[in-house]
Amino acid sequence: MSWTDERVELLKKMWGEGQSASQIAKELGGVTRNAVIGKVHRLGLSNRAGGAAPAAAAPAAPKAAPAAPAAAPKPKPKAEAKPRPAPEPETAKAEDDDNTPRTMPAVPAVSTRRQIIPAGQPLPPQPSANEISPEALAKVNEVEKKAKRISLMELTEKTCKWPIGDPATEDFWFCGLGTQTGKPYCEAHVGVAFQPMSSRRDRRR
DNA sequence: CCCTGATTCGC
DNA sequence: GCGAATCAGG
């Protein structure tokens, strides 16, 4: 695959939206996240595009010894910050000693863009209304005690996506335990999600 | 371990 | 220019 105009454009767009390199790579197809990152850098997209503060930190630039106590601003050549065009109400980052991770955009890009929302798989009926094998149910109850209680944004392809609680309230989270191979849920929840289609219904034969 | 982006360097 | 390998962090 080569970097056609369209692909580059999509790359720019997604990167600008704060999508991760791997997501972009996956979307584009035929490239790895390394390729995406490499391209991003070559395009000069890695830092703020706005043209402000061209503090070019040349890779070959010698590490200046911190010997300027007077007005030593902050010899932090590590280019960081997201090129988020949208106005950011967030407090300006004064110091970056212990800032929050940049993986979570202040402005959620989940609005119009289908994201990591679980789909395709059958959504689980809440156990409350259903009759499920007592064993599985007991298992689930047990599991829910030690569930990781992750949020929507924390879901990955490897976290159990079984919703627990009421989505309309704050009493809502996702199981978050490790998924069973391939399945969208952990072992316990797979147990209740994929019923063998015979609990006691057609038991005769 | 999973993930993230950053950099290097042979091609 | 490209991207795998590697590095550095969370």
Rounded CA-CA distance A194/A162 in Å is 12
Quote the Cα angle for A180-A186-A193, to 5°: 100
Gap from A114 CA to C7 C1', Å: 32
Q: Which nucleotides of B are covered by protein (CB under 7 A)?
A: 2-8
CA A132 to chain CA mean position, Å? 32
Gap from A145 CA to B2 C1', Å: 23
pTM: 0.37
* Nucleotide nearest to A78 in CA–C1' terms: B6
Rounded CA-CA distance A166/A163 in Å is 8
A162, A117, A118: which is closest to A143 by C-alpha?
Answer: A162
pLDDT digits (tens, 9 = 90+) for A140-194: 777 776 777 788 877 887 888 888 877 777 778 888 888 877 778 888 887 777 6
A165 three-state secondary structure: strand
